[in-house]
Structure 1
């Protein structure tokens, strides 16, 4: 496995992948290391102090667009495929955490049971962390999205860092000297 050097990622980094793959934790760790602004898409896609009640797509799109245009260097974590083309066209690098669904499911349930308010990317005021819609999404919807993501990535000019397991991700943490407290 070849590890891409940290300095090769550029100044505009997208992190995508299934729920509970570690996108938010990696974004936080990289943001801390590189001193980049971080946008957690779940936080702009849902109303705070709700149990993940979605916002209108146009409001999400406006916040997403503003973040991309306002900052010279950034990390955006999350999927929301209706925003990917815009995000990927500005990105220098896309980090794709492309993990198997059973691992994501186990991490999602474990994370939900811990219900840490301080978790990177968590929605302010959300009390419910496990729901049937997300379980269904992890098991049935997310695997189908892989083809859509691959196509959108191939249409971008961004460098791809394709990480296919937690073991590989841990090697990147080590090589990039990322602080595990932020990941």
Structure 2
């Protein structure tokens, strides 16, 4: 055992631990955490902010991570979930108008308007779902987690997650295809 491993074991309270490859974890998990938060919050700016805070909090708490209790992505998404809940409770105000000057888009105004319209319509349809269904849909399609990972994260059974997703997607699809606007 190297001196660095002994130091890491001592820093983690004597628990055997292995250092997480933070560069690889960041590359792999960043898009998933961002998409989860975007689904959950509906705002790109808030999703970016909370994604940054998720990784910052994970880095500061890295000695508390225990591989024997949960996978890294489960631990990371628990941090993201808690930050999203705190954010929603606080009802933070929107960004100032000046922030829009810094946004650069490669999309045409028509494409951007259509995307924004579709996202707004999806947000209205998502609001019709129960909070639990919204959370499961955000974890599945925003964070791109498997049903098994969602089950571990939420405490539901894997088959229950599949059933909830099936019903929620069916309800969303039905609302999307209906001729009336949501």
TM-score, L = length of structure 1: 0.30
More helix by share: 2
More strand by share: 1
Q: Which has the larger radius of gyration?
A: 2
Which structure carries more relative contact order (alpha carbon 8 Å, separation 6+)? 1
